[in-house]
Amino acid sequence: MLDNLKVQILRKIATEGYTTATDIVKEFGLTWGAAQWHLFWLENNGYIMSANINGTTIYILNCANALRKLEAVEKAVTKQIK
């Protein structure tokens, strides 16, 4: 399920261009396993892609209009919370 944390991770990738699991651990206070799980879920569901750059896995958005889609998802998640 696309929850608020996954939306925050997508927003981070959208605004910064890419992220790593280490960045997610530091920024969101997650364990390594939790960060990996969220990134795995996002990649498996087509939101992001991974690439290995010099031994480091980076995560980038999977589509050119992802910001527009992300805004729609954020609105839907916000409605669910209220």
First to last CA, the chain: 17
Amino acid identity of 63? C
| pTM for the full predicted model | 0.77
Task: Kindly report, residue by residue over 2-61, the tens digit of the pLDDT.
Answer: 788 999 999 999 899 999 999 999 999 999 999 999 999 999 988 899 999 999 999 999
Question: What are the structural domains, with CATH classification, of the chain?
Answer: 4-71 (1.10.10.10)
Token couple for 53: 């750059």
